[in-house]
Amino acid sequence: MEIINSCKINRLVELIGNSSRPVIVTHLKPDGDAMGSSIAMYHFLAMSGKKEARIVINDRYPKYLEFLFGEDTRKAIAIHSENAGEAAMAIQESDLIICLDFNAFHRTENLCIYLQESKAAKVLIDHHLNPDSESFDLVFSMTEVSSASELLYHVLMAMPLTGGDPATLPSEATAALMTGMTTDTNNFGNSVYPSTLKMASELLRAGVDRDAILNSIYNQHSENRLRLMGHMMKDLLKITDDGVAYIVLDKKTQDAYHIEEGDTEGFVNMPLSIANVKMSLLLKEDGDRIRVSIRSKRGTSANRCARLFFNGGGHENAAGGRLLIPENVASIEGAAEYIETYTHRYFTEGYED
Ligand code: 5GP
Ligand code: MN
CA distance 311 to 322: 6
CA distance 98 to 310: 27
Decide: 138 and 152 in contact? Cβ < 8 Å: no
Mean pLDDT of the chain: 96
Q: Convert the pLDDT of each residue in 262-291 to its tens digit.
A: 899 999 999 999 999 999 999 999 998 999
Phi-psi region of 33 (alpha: psi -120 to 50; beta: other; left: phi over 0): alpha
Decide: 213 and 178 in contact? Cβ < 8 Å: yes
Pocket of ligand 1 (CB under 6 A): 27, 103, 107, 128, 293, 312-315, 318-321
Decide: 28 and 108 in contact? Cβ < 8 Å: yes
- Asked if residue 19 has pLDDT above 60, the reply is yes
Q: What is the pLDDT of residue 100?
A: 99
Crossing angle of the two packed helices 194-205 and 171-184, in degrees rounded to 10: 150
Decide: 166 and 140 in contact? Cβ < 8 Å: no
- Asked if residue 352 has pLDDT above 80, the reply is no
Q: What is the pLDDT of residue 351?
A: 78
**Domains of the chain in sequence order:** 6-218 (3.90.1640.10), 224-348 (3.10.310.30)
Probe residue for ligand 1, chosen from 128, 181, 182, 284 as the CB with the greatest number of ligand atoms within 8 Å? 128
CA distance 192 to 182: 10
CA distance 132 to 134: 6
pTM of the model: 0.96
Q: What is the pLDDT of residue 43?
A: 98
Decide: 294 and 308 in contact? Cβ < 8 Å: no
CA distance 147 to 182: 9
Neighbours of 257 (CB within 10 A): 20
Q: Identify which of 184, 181, 183 has the alpha carbon closest to the alpha carbon of residue 204.
A: 181
Decide: 161 and 48 in contact? Cβ < 8 Å: yes
Q: Convert the pLDDT of each residue in 276-334 to its tens digit.
A: 999 999 999 999 899 999 999 999 999 999 999 999 999 999 999 999 999 999 999 99
Laid out side by side, the sheet with 238-239 consists of 238-239, 244-249, 279-286, 289-296, 318-324, 313-314
Probe residue for ligand 1, chosen from 35, 291, 315, 322 as the CB with the greatest number of ligand atoms within 8 Å? 315
Q: What is the pLDDT of residue 258?
A: 96
Q: Convert the pLDDT of each residue in 30-76 to its tens digit.
A: 999 999 999 999 999 999 999 999 999 999 999 999 999 999 999 99
CA distance 286 to 88: 24
CA distance 328 to 347: 20
CA distance 41 to 81: 22
Q: How far is the CA of 102 from the centre of ligand 2 (A)?
A: 7
3-class secondary structure, 54: strand
Q: What is the pLDDT of residue 3?
A: 59
